[in-house]
Amino acid sequence: MSSTSSTANRLTRSARIARAPRPAILQNTGESLQLAADVLVLGGGPAGTWAAIAATEAGARVVLADKGYCGTSGVAATAGVGHWLVPPDVAARDAEIFPREAQGGYLTDRTWTDAVLDEAWYRTELIPGWGYRPATTPPPRLFAQPGRRSFAGTAPDYLRFLRGRTKRGGATILDHSPALELLVDDDGHVSGARGYQRQAGRPWTVTAGAVVLATGGTTWKSHSLGGDVDTGEGHLMAAEVGAHLSSMEFSNFYGMVPLGTSMDKNGFFIAASYWDHHGDPITYRNLHESRAELLAASLRGTVTATFTQFPPEARARVRAGMPNFFMVVDKLGVDPFTDRFPIDWVQEGTVRGTGGVHVLDHDAATGVPGLYAAGDIAARDRIVGSATGAGGPNLAWAVATGTWAGRAAARDATTPAAPARLTPTGTHGLRAPRATASARGGDSWRDVVGVVQGQMHPIAKAAFRDEEGLAASGSLLDERWARPERLVPAAGTGSGEAIRTREAAGMLATARWVIAAARARTESRGMHTRVDHPRTDPAQTHRLLVGGLDETWVRPDPDLPVTGPVPAGAPGPADVKEAS
């Protein structure tokens, strides 16, 4: 193809993208940046970019602010792309959905799962027509066979494309610009946010008619690959304006890594073979549902693994699909297909778990006027229940909720007030009561982070729970929460230090909600294992809502699970199961 022809094709593709108007610049100096938009999206991963794309498609002025560089930061940027795509066919849906209902402890909602699968199916169908041309060799599989479709490839290609699509639609992207707090008007309508631009060294303010939270999950800085940006301040921002959360007890998912690394690519490990420290084979049930058998063996000694599930003819394809994983094992001198290699664990929290901000409807609304949630920050319990969503369902959820949130935010956006008329809502990690502000001590945020990690990272505490241990963790975390003066940034809310203190506050808040929900669920279900309540209790086949700041609360979700008919011979919701 000639260069002239190629240029013409690019121009034709660009012309098909209706550009939304640009946000207004209210101030742009070395001291501060102030913008006005219709929709503000916080977070630049798949959910955030899909939300921004949907909002610009609706003609909204959009600003997207990312903690890192949009398209390269976060857990999705280190992975492969494998959407959960199931055609809108009853038999195909039943075959896909029922196994997830069962492994999710029957806490799912089939109407939500269908809606997510519908949105993901039709939205991803548009991508080739948008001009997506991945650079990988071989190219990802976009259309596998009639009636079925797969979309698989490497995340850098995909996320780079979504970033470009977001910008071509007219959105303004603020990179390296973490949000610190939401802004509300006199009626309690969320109308923007404040944050800090790391590289420019200045605070930013965006007023907006509506805000979409897409800030990701929480790993409590466990060093999971790409996960240390996921620190819970988005969850805290939502709670500060009145939102609540769901299924936070299912936020203790541990990813497997080759010992001494952070390369947590769980898909390879799901059907592998394992041996304990004596060399005896380990029998496990379902690693999507629970990893208790392997976690327990790891507490007794080092576990080893081999990817015996891949025949020789499949290994080249597997390597091509996740080159970063195999670069690591090659450096270790390990052939994971034939060698037994030692493994370790990394806490992936709500990123691979299911808990998060509770969204109320298929607009991804949080119940707080002007505030929407999408992707990993939003609880995925309705599609995966008490089990991990893993890559495919999580990505389908990001596409669907991002699209819903972006559309709804654009439709419902009000004219934002001037920054001076808006009230900042950040508390812990940004401000302290005046009477105690002088009591702040040096690097006390480090102490808070250490305490949180001491409760949320260890397998013996977070994977195997009992009332005594949960009560002790809760008491310790509550004590730190009751001393907000220890998380006041020395240079004020418009500083780089405020990022660290706010992250610490987010990690502390999410940990308290996890402990509260885990104490309330007095049974073992999915990834939640209570050693003092090892059986599944049919009477607790409901989701748990949790919220509150100074005083946490937990209550059953009044919306009960909606599952399909149980196939003959399969265990159902009333069957009692003993935890391993």
Domain containing 225 — which CATH number? 3.50.50.60
Decide if 526 contacts 290 (C-beta within 8 A).
yes
Same domain, 110 and 179: yes
Same domain, 337 and 456: no
Same domain, 23 and 86: yes
Same domain, 175 and 199: yes
Same domain, 199 and 331: no
Residue with tokens 């006199």: 186
| CB neighbours of residue 375 within 10 Å | 34
Cβ contacts of 462 within 8 Å, gap of 6 or more: 252, 347, 455, 456
Same domain, 243 and 258: no
Q: Which of 252, 245, 178, 181 lies closest to 220 in space, CA to CA?
A: 252
Tokens of 368: 């707080």
Residue 144 lies in a domain: yes
- pLDDT number for residue 432: 75
**What distance in Å separates the CA atoms of residue 285 and residue 388, rounded to the nearest whole number?**
14
Same domain, 315 and 362: no
**3-state SS assignment for residue 404:** helix
* Single-letter residue type at 343: I
Last residue of a domain, one of 367, 401, 424: 424
DSSP letter assigned to residue 523: S
Same domain, 537 and 406: no
Cβ contacts of 81 within 8 Å, gap of 6 or more: 140, 151, 152, 153, 154, 155, 157, 158, 395
Residue 161 lies in a domain: yes
Cβ contacts of 564 within 8 Å, gap of 6 or more: 94, 97, 98, 101, 110
Residue 4 lies in a domain: no
Q: Residue 313 is part of a domain; what is its CATH number? A: 3.90.700.10
Cβ contacts of 438 within 8 Å, gap of 6 or more: 485
Count of domains observed in the chain: 3
Q: Which of 178, 277, 168 lies closest to 234 in space, CA to CA?
A: 178
- pLDDT number for residue 5: 35
Residue 290 lies in a domain: yes
Residue with tokens 């808006």: 422
Last residue of a domain, one of 404, 424, 444: 424
- Full domain range(s) for residue 290: 253-349
Q: Residue 488 is part of a domain; what is its CATH number? A: 1.20.58.100
DSSP result, 218-268: B--S---TTGGG-BSHHHHHHHHTT--EE-GGG--EEEEEETT-----GGG
Last residue of a domain, one of 349, 366, 387: 349
Residue 379 lies in a domain: yes
Residue 206 lies in a domain: yes
Residue 578 lies in a domain: no
pTM of the predicted model as reported, rounded to 2 decimal places:
0.93
Same domain, 363 and 475: no
Mean pLDDT per 10-residue interval, the chain, length 580 residues? 35 51 92 96 97 97 97 81 86 90 95 96 90 62 50 78 95 98 96 96 96 96 91 97 98 93 86 96 89 95 96 90 87 96 95 95 97 97 92 92 98 85 94 59 80 97 97 97 88 88 97 98 96 97 98 97 83 72
Respond yes or no on whether the N-terminal peptide bond of residue 138 is cis (omega within 30° of 0).
yes
Decide if 206 contacts 212 (C-beta within 8 A).
no
Decide if 196 contacts 202 (C-beta within 8 A).
yes
Same domain, 30 and 143: yes
| CB neighbours of residue 466 within 10 Å | 15
* Single-letter residue type at 217: G
Residue 10 lies in a domain: no
DSSP result, 126-186: TTGGGT-----SSPP-S--BTTB---EEEHHHHHHHHHHHHHHTT-EEETT--EEEEEE-T
Same domain, 229 and 372: yes
Cβ contacts of 255 within 8 Å, gap of 6 or more: 224, 264, 266, 345, 346, 347, 348, 352
Same domain, 190 and 310: no
